[in-house]
Amino acid sequence: MQNLFNFIVKNVHWLLFLLLLFLSVFLLIDHSEFQRSKYLSVADDVTGSIYTVTNGFQSYMNLKSANEDLTKKIAELETSVFEYQQALASRNDTNQTASVAIDTLHTLIYQFIPAQVVDKNVSRLENYITLNKGANDGITPDMGVLSTNGIVGVVMKTSSHFSIVIPVLNPKFRLNCKLKTNYSGPLVWDGKDAQYTYLTEIPRHAIFQIGDTVVTSGYSTIFPKGLPVGTIVSVQKEKNDNYNSLKIKLFTNFHTLNTVTIVKNEYQREQNELQKTIQP
Amino acid sequence: MEAIRRIIWFVALVFLQVALFDKVHLFGYATPLLYIYFIIKLPVSLNRNAVVLLSALLGLCIDIFDHTLGLNMLACVVAGFMRFYLLKLFAPRDVFEDFAPSLKTFGHAAFFRYVSGMILLHQLIVFSTEAFSLFDAAGLFLRILGSFVLTLALVYALENINWGGAKNERR
């Protein structure tokens, strides 16, 4: 007994080391689940406000407020353009089937909320972006994020004043996109260049041309259909011979990204819950 | 007094890392991970448990800011633990009093070996763990090499600021 006790006292640093090692490996492996949980949202509020301060140093005060006004305006215009497009579509559609985008009370399915980037990485393997809007502004996980040029990513988690976005530039990001000719496949980033990503699982017989625009497919509840993503730059064969993957030049410039709009889908929960009921 | 100085170093290094160095990507590969300097500079005689605990705390702080929970913590815990063995290998044996590793106390060769060992170990773990999902050996190698050189240069820069008065003595 005495010996055992002595042994433990003598090697307590080993125990401590192994304990901390396991703890960090556990955090690393359980990362995504843990990140989504509420434990760290207090920490996110603190880091977010520090990033807000450092970001303040990085951008000129006047330009910032002017930019905010402009993005707000853009978000409003985007909302109304969407409204008109849907109204037009429902008018053109004789069977009135396209009117799903506006419900009976005439509230919009998609709303656009302007936000500022307070922190971002673009050159790592797993990049994240922090925005200055959070749960208090009605942001919830799984909302889409757009720049003025194209898509940016999806909200992963929120604290009361900030939200963290998992951008296109993250291998964990998966989004279904499609070509003009309606062939669709998941968008996958290879971890190298912030300007390019890949549209995979495109059948070899799909018809397209270099320079064609790739848009969101609208199959998920995150983004509306037809938002611009990027243009086709080149074609690569996948290991499986039946599919090609297309190199896409993104419309969004992540290096200069500063203001974004968040897409809110009023019916996201309803649709997800309905879809869940048919899955085992 | 010494404790307060260390706390200031801790906060300053974490702040510099998340606000400045994390945004540096020289040639698209080299990112300095200077916060390891805190572990490097802990006094030689400090209890091993304390070193490992402080290292874990440092890594965790960086992780919370970077949204990379566990990554830097893992690297720091290993680096903090292995520090004892690196010191045993490289620290001069003729000095007995409580001193912090520096160019002055260690001398050039020993300090270089000790610092390189720490940085390399730390970065090897950070970058290879990060690359786990997407393996690209050449890219990984360049990342580690570039970041290693950059971090080493910064450690030496800090070391010379710390120790400005003694420059003349050296040459």
pLDDT tens string B102-153: 777 777 888 888 889 899 999 888 888 877 656 677 778 888 888 898 899 8
* pLDDT given at position A60: 60
Nearest to B28 among A24, A123, A171 (CB): A123
Nearest to residue A64, comparing CAs of A248, A258, A199, A231? A258
CA distance A20 to B72: 12
Q: Is A149 exposed, middle or buried (0-12, 13-18, 19+ CB in 10 A)?
A: middle
Nearest to residue A17, comparing CAs of B25, B105, B77? B77
* pLDDT given at position B167: 39
In chain A, which residues touch B (CB < 8 A)? Answer: 12-13, 16-17, 20-21, 23-29, 31, 34-35, 40, 43, 47, 50-51, 54, 121, 123-126, 128, 164, 171, 190-192
Query: Is A17 close to B70, i.e. CB distance below 8 A?
Result: no
Nearest to B133 among A12, A125, A128 (CB): A125
* pLDDT given at position A155: 92
Which token pair is B9? Answer: 């170093």
- What are the strands, taking DSSP E only, across B19-168? none
Straight-line distance from the first to the last Cα atom of chain A, in angstroms, rounded to the nearest whole number: 53
Above 60 in pLDDT, residue B81?
A: yes
State mean pLDDT over B52-77: 86
Above 80 in pLDDT, residue A187?
A: yes
* pLDDT given at position A154: 92
Strand partners, B128: none
Residues of chain A neighbouring B78 (CB-CB closer than 8 A):
21
Above 80 in pLDDT, residue B23?
A: no
Instruction: Dump pLDDT digits (tens) for A73-88.
Output: 888 888 888 777 776 7
pTM of the model: 0.59
Query: Is B70 close to A20, i.e. CB distance below 8 A?
Result: no
* pLDDT given at position A165: 92
* Nearest CA-CA distance, residue A23 and chain B, Å: 8
Given a contact cutoff of 8 angstroms between Cβ atoms, the answer to whether B89 and B34 are in contact is no
Above 70 in pLDDT, residue A210?
A: yes
Nearest CA in chain B to A15: B49
Instruction: Dump pLDDT digits (tens) for A118-155.
Output: 888 888 888 899 998 888 888 988 889 988 888 899 99
State mean pLDDT over A27-49: 67
State mean pLDDT over A272-279: 81
Q: ipTM > 0.85?
A: no
Query: Is A123 close to B71, i.e. CB distance below 8 A?
Result: no
Percent pLDDT > 70 in chain B is: 88
- B residues 62..121 contacting A (CB < 8 A): 63-71, 73-74, 77-78, 81
Above 60 in pLDDT, residue A95?
A: no
CA distance A62 to A55: 14
Query: Is B130 close to A26, i.e. CB distance below 8 A?
Result: no
Nearest to B70 among A31, A190, A191 (CB): A31
